[in-house]
Structure 1
Amino acid sequence: MSANLSLPQPGLGTFRLQDDVVIASVSSALELGYRHIDTASFYNNEEAVGKAIAASDVERESLFVTTKVWHEHLAGDGVIESVKASLQRLGLEYLDLVLIHWPSPHDEVPMEHYIAKLNETREAGLTRHIGISNFTMAQVDRALACPGGEHIITNQIEVHPFLANKALVEHCQSKGLTVTGYMPLAVGKVMQEPVLQEIADRYQATAAQVALAWVAQRNIVVIPSSTKSSHQKANLEALELQLSDADMQAINSLDCDDRIANPDFAPSWD
């Protein structure tokens, strides 16, 4: 676990991975030494992720498993019911982290309600930690001020060289939250970026490894998704790279606010 981070670095993202593909991906990652697995009820793959965990020799206590509650389940007891259903599908007795996947669109469900319910899942022992995902700076502040919000440990957001998300990252970190960065490879776009390729050549690395190193050097937990064992291994090795300040600045200059995850129910971004 890296300094100042409350989640194991790196994690394995499982978005868009289904059935045998996600089973193979999680199994391979666990064999290589990954201990942080990120899924969500919306991904429709929790059962398969659970099968891979059950088949692994890794002890449950050594794993850090994250899932998320979809925004359609924030009202009433929906948060608690969603977490219980996730546990059943995953075949686990507890989760390590449960996130609110997206803030309630247009504040249809009051944040005070679903953050309190999220904290109830922690108090009931269904999860060890709680967090948020895709929350703006103002929403982060509101969430932390809600009853139970003081237990939030992370905001999981999109971060890659084309969306540095600098203001939000620094805001979260200033509040003591770990930032978890999803889509750190911009769904493969980093591989074609000449600036990243030039830096990679100097380090005898790949553009993808340089992108991951850049995210991690900002004290952000990365959760790249990968189905190939060789790529997973390369992603682990990327965290051993130490980029120079000049390299970091060169990559910072690629930021063009190129947001990939932007559904119609997303908040008004910072």
Structure 2
Amino acid sequence: MTIPTVQLNNGIRIPQLGFGVFQVPDDQTTAAVAAALEAGYRSIDTAAIYGNEAGVGRALAASGLPREELFVTTKLWNADQGYDATLRAFDASLDKLGLDHLDLYLIHWPTPARDLYLDSWRAIERLAAEGRIRAAGVSNFQPAHLKRLMDSSELVPAVNQVELHPGLQQAELRAFHAEHGIATEAWSPLAQGAVLDDAAITAIAARTGKSPAQVVLRWHLQLGNIVIPKSVTPARIRQNLDVFDFRLTDEDMAQIAATDRELRTGPHPDQFN
């Protein structure tokens, strides 16, 4: 099975379907990532604040997979923003992961009250110029945050990873991304299960013989989103990857579009610091 890829604005390609480890304890992360790699995932998404970068690193090392086949993302935590602090945090993450470079490094939140994301971005630009990260991006940035960042730097974020699912479809933000060549990546792509009982989704699942989760992941893929579902259950890990043998119709897509309701499972980026 070949997972499709999305070309980022600097020319590198990221698998469109990856594996996330949010809220997975470090001592369970190694087994979960190992199961994901065995199932066929090659993109792994973690973050410093998750406390499981070391667990990810152990699984990557044990897999025996060539480094060039893997796409590894981690994120800078809020308390580590600022130019020098970002460089230190990056080194700490790289050490825990046991890697000599990252494929994608993200500023986790804009934290507007701290007002340090421009300094952090300058540090990330340096890391990119030095070849220590293949692509640079952000997470949870709103259009105003992105505009300010792009007005202050030459490097346009390759990715903005945001909460995105049928209950929170972020159409305005996705349109902004498309206009500026920023790839949209969805965290909480299943809304932590909150959208899986929606009538439109369960009806499509029944018609296609797929699970509601598979229908939602397929919806993301057809929108062009990069998606990183999380699970610690090997059967569910494999099931989340089994979404390339069917396609949603235009009517299906329209029905899911109609379920948008500003449903946030996480904090609002303008208020979180």
**1:125 Cα offset (Å):** 2.5
- Range moving further from structure 2, 94-103 or 17-26: 17-26
State the match for 2:172 in structure 1: 167
- Cα deviation, residue 148, structure 1: 4.1
> Which aligned segments of 4 or more residues in structure 1 are displaced greater than 4 angstroms?
none
1:143 is matched with: 149
How many pairs does the alignment contain?
A: 265
| Secondary structure of 1:242's aligned partner | coil
Hey, what does 1:203 align to over in structure 2? 208
Give, in angstroms, the shift of residue 58 of structure 1. Answer: 1.2
After superposition, give the CA deviation of every residue in 1:141-180 in whole Å (9 maximum; x if it has no partner): 2222322433x21000011110011110121122111111
**Hey, what's the Cα distance between the residues in 1 that align with 2:129 and 2:135?**
10
Which residue of structure 1 lines up, in the alignment, with residue 74 of structure 2? 67
Instruction: Say yes or no: does 1:27 pair with 2:34.
Output: yes
Deviation at 1:105, TM superposition (A): 2.7
- Secondary structure of the corresponding residue to residue 158 of structure 2: strand
Aligned-residue offset at 1:190: 2.7
Local SS of the residue matching 1:92: coil
| 1:167 aligned partner, one-letter code | E
Q: How does 1:103-118 map to 2 (within 5 A)?
A: 103-109=110-116, 111-118=117-124
Measured after TM superposition, the shift of residue 3 of structure 1 is 5.1
| In the alignment, structure 1 residue 50 sits paired with structure 2 residue 57 | yes
**Hey, what does 2:230 align to over in structure 1?**
225
The reply on whether 1:185 has 2:190 as its aligned counterpart is: yes
* Residue in structure 2 matching 1:120, options 117, 120, 126: 126
d(CA) in 2 for partners of 1:191 and 1:102? 27
Structure 1 position 4, deviation (Å): 4.8
Work out the CA distance in 2 between the residues paired with 1:157 and 1:136: 9
SS of the equivalent of 1:238 reads coil
Gapped regions of structure 2 (runs ≥ 5):
none
The residue that corresponds to 1:2 in the other structure is 5
Q: Compute the displacement of 1:59 (Å).
A: 0.9
| Superposition TM-score, scaled by structure 1 size | 0.93
Contact 1:116 1:148 (8 Å CA) reproduced: no
Superposed CA offset, 1:214-254 (max 9, x none):
11111000000011121121111124431001100100111
For 2:171 and 2:189, locate their aligned partners in 1 and report how far apart those are by CA, in whole Å: 14
One-letter amino acid matched to 1:67: T
Distance verdict in 2 for CA 1:240–1:120, change over 3 Å: farther
Secondary structure of the 2:72 match is: strand
Q: Which amino acid aligns with 1:113?
A: D
Aligned-pair distance for 1:107? 4.8
1:7 offset after TM fit, Å? 1.6
Structure 2 CA distance for aligned equivalents of residues 66 and 161 of structure 1 = 24
Question: What is the letter of the counterpart of residue 246 of structure 2?
Answer: L
* Conserved 8 A contact 1:93-1:126: yes
Partner of 2:91: 84
1:76-108: per-residue Cα shift (whole Å, max 9, x none)? 401111110000011111110100000133253
- From 16, 19, 43, give the equivalent of 2:23: 16
Please say if residues 11 and 34 of structure 1, whose CA atoms lie closer than 8 Å, have aligned partners that are also in contact: yes
2:259 is the alignment partner of 1:254: yes
SS at match of 1:156: strand
Q: Measure, in 1, the Cα distance between the counterparts of 2:246 and 2:127.
A: 38
Question: In the aligned structure 1, how far is the partner of 2:112 from the partner of 2:203?
Answer: 41
Instruction: Indicate the percent of aligned positions where both proteins have the same amino acid.
Output: 37
C-alpha RMSD of matched pairs (Å): 1.6
- How far apart, CA to CA, are the structure 1 residues paired with 2:6 and 2:114? 35
SS in 2 for 1:106: coil
Secondary structure of 1:179's partner?
Answer: strand
Q: Which amino acid aligns with 1:142?
A: R
